[in-house]
Structure 1
Amino acid sequence: MNLTKGKIASLGIQHVLAMYAGAVIVPLIVGAGIGLTTEQLTYLISIDILMCGVASILQVWKNRFTGIGLPVVLGCTFTAVGPIIAIGNEYGITSVYGAIIVSGLVVVLIAKYFSKLIRFFPPVVTGSVVTVIGITLIPVAMNDLAGGQGSADFGSLTNLVLGFGTLLIILVIFRFAKGFMQSIAILIGILAGTIIASFFGMVDLSAVAGSSWLHLPTPFHFGTPEFHLIPILTMILVAIVSLVESTGVYFALGDICEKKIDEKDLEKGYRAEGLAIFLGGIFNAFPYTTFSQNVGLIQLSGIRTNNVIYTAGGMLILLGLVPKIGALTLAIPKPVLGGAMIAMFGMVIAYGIKMLSRVDFNLQQNLLIVACSVGMGLGVTVVPEVFAGFDESVQILTDSGIVLGSLTAIFLNIVFNFRKTSSSSMAHKKSA
């Protein structure tokens, strides 16, 4: 498809809208958890959005040292929310950023070695991981569709009509539109849903009026970073967990873009992610990881060009510099976003199933790997308090359905398949 600048811009906006709510919610939760002032929270949200753009560009721009070179969007990792609040309350916010800086440097240093683990990610693992990612995100979409968890009008008829109405608009566009119009179905659905919501008085522009026009990033905005061992080890663990999540996204995008992901590609991708985490610490933002909702968007739109992500990255930087513009996206009602997210997250699940279609399910162990990894991922998502009695350092691994499901798939593949694969490889070499 020949994309004009206008079409690329529209697709870029679509990617920004897809990830914006997920990116903003992290600083809001962290700010409330560690007691930031309104002024501090304003900075945190702005710098987070700006750094999402920088991190995405770093990852898309493939060079000798960094960048996976795929149309991937990076945002702040939800895995870090609990640990950051715990560290901030016990050691102070400056210790949070000291730990993030060190964890970023560690990821840069271990990227070469972590990438050699590619043999532990055959289709039975990557397909399971991508499926788990999609499944664990569906509750987020459903909560938003109902009005947002904890909202006074949660599950009201108005919210449900708006949410499912937005989804219906997207489906109708996909059924009857062609070409470019079909590729921006999500964007059209969100815009149409927001316009409809305005007639119900559900579009709040107060955040726009209260925002400033310009907000420049400043290194060490919250003070000189401090370095304590426990926070550092905690954030290193968070960063490694994020690499596991990102690996599934890399393989999913590689499959969508019909590009084979090798060890060198992973090394550059991990290194770019480590650099993004390091810069997040410098500018007092967050650790960054791949955003899977944008993978679903790429699959839905069929547009796989990196120029769209460069454009989205530039828009995110602009939004971070001009909070008043960025606040406009906060006016999109949660039910509208939820309706769009069902389609996007559902496509992530569908693509995981497609990746699993290459797996030999005549082997019972492969069925068991998929069953247990998806079961663990979904189980923790539905019943998050199941591991509440564990130590907080362990809960970093057990609180996230994505992380626990991914680690289950990797571990079971090693138990059931790795030794057989290694033995057959050695036998082949001897016979040769």
Structure 2
Amino acid sequence: MSINNRESQNNLVDNYHSALLGIQHLLAMYSGAVLVPLLIGGALKFSAAQMTYLISIDIFMCGLATFLQLFTNRIFGIGLPVILGCAIQAVAPLEMIGQNFSIGTMYGAIIASAVFVFLIAGLFAKIRKFFPPLVTGTVITVIGLTLIPIGFVNLGGGSATAKSFGSGNNLIVGLFTILVVLVCSVYGRGFISRIAVLIGLLLGTILASLMGMVSFKAVVDASWFHFPQPFYFGTPRFEVSSILTMIAISLVSLVESTGVFFALGDITKKPIGEKDLKKGYRAEALAGILGGIFNTFPYTTFSQNVSLVQLSGIKSRQPIYYAAGFLMLLGLLPKIGALATIIPTPVIGGATVIMFGMIAIQGIRILEKMDFSNNKNILVAAISIGAGLGVSVEPNIFQSLPETVRLIFSNGVVIASLCAVLLNLIIQPDRVTNKIKNPAGSVKQQEN
């Protein structure tokens, strides 16, 4: 066999593996991506036809938004293996705007807030010095810990108020999925261990199907082709309070994205600088502008896919290119895209419990580098993690605050981020620097 033929076959195998990893990334974020249109469309009483469009174009835009981050250039794109999806923290304010004003006002606020983010991206990137390892490790840990309960709710059936929640069937398929992912990760060789989550989702769905838990009705009812239409639900309207509300939510998303960027930078060994952050923020802003034009939603970097990069060991962008392409294809072909909706919620829950736990561990690994013989470092991490988890468990603690303020402060990740940044500035561990352990156990200095 000639060298050229061998290289061709190796490239074919690499592309095949990357495509499978791309599918794994798609399946990992799919439920989170469709959750936002389901919630908002339901709250605004959309018809079946409107919901079909909303979900399909949302999936298409997730792919397009991801491409904006992957294609790094001088203006936008951070160039990390990231997946973008709908910002879940935008659900409540968008429902409020749509119900109190109009759908057009909702999309006007999305466009205006995205333009604002694009314009201040460079300024926001300058606060990088406020995110030393002590802060980013704390925030990433809280992101993972606050997502784990969502995975457990899905494992039980998706709704704690449902009669079938925690049923034997739900627990069996959810725990079976966890077991498959565990076995494939620990005992699988080579590529098998890298696609452990995908194998878990597939085998879990097969078991659920044998138990009568899988319905193909969504596939049968979906149309074959759907093309994006600008202003499908009407032209945007611009209202000041709605715009200010969405600007606040957009800044929250930037804080979360910053933590994800640093987590992926740590995993891929790529230093994240001010220019990288600025281009990353701009890509999300452009995705939000397009989301408003095509009547979808704001888009942010999905933290749940960080764990897949860690779990698979594949740190290149090639699988993400495939994932983005598949997302756009599924958005154009609703009947094929609906296939992903047949995965039962407990199966998704079983897989995401592991994935969300991996995010928390990534944050702990960053914190592990810190010198915790310094009580100031302990206080910053302890208070921030405690406040973030406390708010996540009991968000009604801020129910007496105004609606817009309450929407922001009921987010555990935001509270943890604010606490970590402010406490790090006020307490000033080691004044200008945080002490970080080197592998030998001694201590070195890292600038804030």
SS of the aligned residue for 1:367 comes to: helix
Aligned partners of 2:166 and 2:420: how far apart in 1? 35
1:398 is displaced (CA, Å) by 1.5
**Aligned residue for 1:301?**
312
Q: How does 1:26-41 map to 2 (within 5 A)?
A: 26-41=36-51
Aligned partners of 1:159 and 1:254: how far apart in 2? 36
Aligned partners of 1:96 and 1:398: how far apart in 2? 21
AA of the residue aligned to 2:379: L
Q: How does 1:320-399 map to 2 (within 5 A)?
A: 320-399=331-410
**Aligned residue for 1:124?**
134
**Aligned residue for 1:138?**
148
AA of the residue aligned to 1:125: V
Question: Which of residues 153, 161, 166 is equivalent to 2:172?
Answer: 161
1:308 is displaced (CA, Å) by 0.7
Aligned partners of 1:114 and 1:414: how far apart in 2? 17
SS of the aligned residue for 1:289 comes to: strand
Aligned partners of 2:77 and 2:407: how far apart in 1? 27
Aligned partners of 1:329 and 1:43: how far apart in 2? 16
Does 1:87 find its partner at 2:97? yes
**Aligned residue for 1:148?**
158
The more displaced of 83-92 and 411-420 is 411-420
SS of the aligned residue for 2:432 comes to: helix
1:384 is displaced (CA, Å) by 2.4
Cα deviation 1:382-423 (Å, max 9, x = unaligned): 12222222211102212211122122111111111289218x
Q: How does 1:184-223 map to 2 (within 5 A)?
A: 184-223=195-234
SS of the aligned residue for 2:300 comes to: strand
Aligned partners of 2:379 and 2:231: how far apart in 1? 48
Cα deviation 1:368-391 (Å, max 9, x = unaligned): 111111111111221222222221
Aligned partners of 2:113 and 2:123: how far apart in 1? 16
**Aligned residue for 2:60?**
50
**Aligned residue for 2:17?**
7
Q: How does 1:282-297 map to 2 (within 5 A)?
A: 282-297=293-308
Aligned partners of 2:283 and 2:415: how far apart in 1? 24
Aligned partners of 1:291 and 1:151: how far apart in 2? 27
Aligned partners of 1:146 and 1:419: how far apart in 2? 45
Normalising to structure 2: TM-score of the pair? 0.92
Aligned partners of 1:157 and 1:387: how far apart in 2? 37
Q: How does 1:263-282 map to 2 (within 5 A)?
A: 263-282=274-293
AA of the residue aligned to 1:26: V
Cα deviation 1:87-134 (Å, max 9, x = unaligned): 001110100111111111111110111101010000000000100000
Aligned partners of 1:189 and 1:243: how far apart in 2? 32
**Aligned residue for 2:322?**
311
Q: How does 1:54-65 map to 2 (within 5 A)?
A: 54-65=64-75
AA of the residue aligned to 1:92: S
AA of the residue aligned to 1:204: S
1:221 is displaced (CA, Å) by 0.8
The more displaced of 363-372 and 236-245 is 363-372
Aligned partners of 1:14 and 1:133: how far apart in 2? 21
AA of the residue aligned to 1:381: S
Does 1:225 find its partner at 2:199? no
Is the 2:201–2:348 contact (alpha carbons within 8 Å) kept by the matching residues of 1?
yes
**Aligned residue for 1:181?**
192
**Identity within the alignment, %:** 54
Is the 1:132–1:378 contact (alpha carbons within 8 Å) kept by the matching residues of 2?
yes
Cα deviation 1:325-353 (Å, max 9, x = unaligned): 11111100111110000110010011000
Aligned partners of 1:266 and 1:418: how far apart in 2? 25
Cα deviation 1:212-249 (Å, max 9, x = unaligned): 01111111111111000000111111111100000000
Is the 2:377–2:429 contact (alpha carbons within 8 Å) kept by the matching residues of 1?
no
Is the 2:376–2:429 contact (alpha carbons within 8 Å) kept by the matching residues of 1?
no
Name stretches of at least 5 consecutive residues in structure 2 with no aligned partner. Answer: 1-9, 434-448
1:64 is displaced (CA, Å) by 0.8
AA of the residue aligned to 1:218: Q
Aligned partners of 2:408 and 2:155: how far apart in 1? 28
Name stretches of at least 5 consecutive residues in structure 1 with no aligned partner. Answer: 423-432
AA of the residue aligned to 1:151: A
Does 1:112 find its partner at 2:112? no
SS of the aligned residue for 1:420 comes to: coil
AA of the residue aligned to 1:40: Q
Is the 1:132–1:406 contact (alpha carbons within 8 Å) kept by the matching residues of 2?
no
AA of the residue aligned to 2:232: H
Is the 1:97–1:281 contact (alpha carbons within 8 Å) kept by the matching residues of 2?
yes
Cα deviation 1:18-52 (Å, max 9, x = unaligned): 00000111111111112212211111111111111
Question: Which of residues 241, 249, 256 is equivalent to 1:238?
Answer: 249
Aligned partners of 1:197 and 1:130: how far apart in 2? 33
Figure out how many residues of one structure are paired with residues of the other and give that number: 422
Is the 1:129–1:402 contact (alpha carbons within 8 Å) kept by the matching residues of 2?
yes
SS of the aligned residue for 1:75 comes to: strand
Aligned partners of 1:22 and 1:107: how far apart in 2? 23
Question: Which of residues 234, 257, 260 is equivalent to 1:249?
Answer: 260
Q: Which runs of 4+ in 1 moved over 6 A?
A: none
